[in-house]
Each structure stands twice: as structure tokens, then as C-alpha cells.
Amino acid sequence: MGRATEQLADRCGPGVGGLLNATFGNAAELIIAILALQRGLGDVVKASITGSIIGNILLVLGLSVLAGGVKYKRQTFNRTAAGLGSTLLALSVIGLLVPAFYHHVAREAFSQGNISQAQEVRWEHELSLEISVVLFLVYALSLVFSLVTHRDTLLDKPENPDSQHNQKNWSIGKAVGILLGAAAGVALMSEFLVGAVEATAKALGLTRVFVGVVIVAVIGNAAEHSTAVLMALKNKMDLCMNIAIGSSIQVALFVAPLLVFLSYLFGSPMDLRFTLFEVLSVTLSAVVINLVAQDGESHWMEGVLLLAVYLILGIAFYLLPSS
């Protein structure tokens, strides 16, 4: 997947390359989530969404910045593209904050009125569905912005077009075909992963939240992990940032709403009401990435800081008691 993504970025630009890598990489996340939804593991699904967002921002980008920073003293990337990504992540935070706070604020009002619990749940599902529509539309418009109307502004052009590597280019069809084949292989392995989640959690004494936020998310994002680090080592930070931040954006604004839509087909509607700690984790991650991306350059110490935040959150999720 890494080689195919690099070939596509050389041909089509880092924006398209990063988008395709995030899409095929998140195919695993989506497949895992759909299988888990069918098995009634809604809490694991929502935890994996949280884990995927913070994992891409903190773990994937942290490893990439650290690896690239060790090899290169200073690396640069497009501030405009990174700023757009940070803004979209802020929107995703709002999309997670509103259902969580609605639940806590409305519960007090419902307890004082003549509102049944079933009515409360139905309203929460309706709120999540409507927010999902908004997030889905914003993601679609962001693609129009970055790939059509402002493509030149975001430096969506091939990187190193005269390099020796580009003399051995794959065709676009071959690169896309390899990405599809890799995604199909991941889909097969996802079936085994979801089947082992509950037994593994019980055997190791892990909560479902920790399994979803850390274990499932890390495995589901393995493609982004390897490719982003590889691109950072080749000093292709625009592509690296597009992969890491773009994947988090896609999970928050596309995968999560799509899962809400699909959950209605399975007869068990899923809401976007995440726990307050999950919302706090995503919020802190969005703040940290905004600080890192605002100057348009990176060094290895910023990678250390991103990894430190991820480690702190991981420890907290591990020690978080199950409800």
C-alpha cells in the first residue's frame, strides 16, 4: 500500500495520494466496524472511531515526525493544507461534543418532565442522524475544495517529478489495483479480528473501550502507520500530513456518519454519543495537532510530544474502569 500510494502521489499529487491511502487504509476500519455492528458491539465501534482519530493524529503522525526528524533536521509542509485539516478536525470535535453534552443536559430536563426513556433515546438517535448528515456533507464539500476549486493553493502537484524514482513509475491502474488488493486482504483478516475481540478482552482482562480505542484502532490503521512513516523518511511531509490528518478527518466526517446510516439497516441505530473522556481525548488531540501544524515545519521533538500525549491517553484508557 505504501509503494502504491507513493506512485499515485508522484503522478497525481500528495493530496490525491494521501486521500486514496486514507480511503483504502480506512476500508479496514470501516469493515471492522461494520462486522462489529452486526455482532452488537456498538461500544467497541464507537471506541474504535475515537482510537482511529487520536491514533492517526498522535501515534501515526508522531512516529512519522520523529522518524523524519531524526533523518532531517527540519522538514516543511504546506501550512494551508494543514490548517484546513486542523479546522475540519475542530468540526469533528463539535460533532462529538454536542451529542455528549446534549445527553447530560437533556437528561435533567427529561427527568423533570413527563418524558419516557424510550422517547429520550429516540431523540438522541435523531440528533445523531442529523449531525451525521451535516458531517457527511461537509466532508464531501471539503473534497471539492481540496481537489477542485483550491487544488493549486494546497500544492496538489506531483512531488519530485524529475527524480530517478519516477522513471520507474507504475501505471495508475496498477497502483489502484494493488491498493484494492491490499484492502481485500485486510477485509479477510478483519473477520478474524472481530471474532477474537471479545475473547481476547476477557482473557487479558481488558475493557471493551481500551480494546476499541487502542488495539482495534492500531491494527485497523496499520496501513497508514507504515506509509506515513515511509513518506516522512523520504522527506515527503505534505504526503505524510495528508495521510495522517486526512485519515482522521475521513474517520470523523465520513466513516462515523456512514456507520450511523448503516446501523439503521441492521435494525439497531447507533448514536454519536461518546463518553466524556473520549470526547476530551479527541479535543486534546485536535488542539495538539493545531499547535504542531501552524508553523508549517516539524522536527523530531514534536514527534516525541505527539507520542507522549498518545501514551498518556493510552494509559488512562487502560486504567479506565468499565461501566
Read off the pLDDT of residues 264-318 as tens digits, 9 standing for 90 and up: 888 788 888 888 888 899 999 999 988 888 888 899 999 999 999 999 999 998 8
pLDDT: which is higher, 170 or 67? 67
How many angstroms separate the CA atoms of 54 and 280, rounded? 11
Q: Which residue has the higher pLDDT, 293 or 167?
A: 293
What are the angstrom distances between the C-alpha of 283 and each of 12, 49, 91, 168?
A: 32, 14, 10, 43
Q: What is the mean pLDDT of residues 99-106?
A: 81
CB 258 within 8 A of CB 137: no
Residue 76 phi, psi (nearest 5): -120, 160
Q: Which of 103-112, 172-181, 232-241 has the highest mean pLDDT?
A: 232-241
Beta bridge partners of 298: 75
Of 180 and 286, which is predicted with more confidence? 286
Q: Of 115 and 282, which is predicted with more confidence?
A: 282
Q: What is the pLDDT of residue 46?
A: 86
- Please tell me the least confidently modeled range out of 44-48, 174-178, 179-183, 293-297: 179-183
CA dist list (Å): 32 to 37, 67, 120, 192, 270: 9, 29, 29, 10, 15
Cell 475540519 appears where?
88
Q: Are 42 and 188 in contact, with CB atoms under 8 Å apart? A: no
Q: Exposed (0-12), middle (13-18) or buried (19+): which is 128, by Cβ within 10 Å?
A: buried
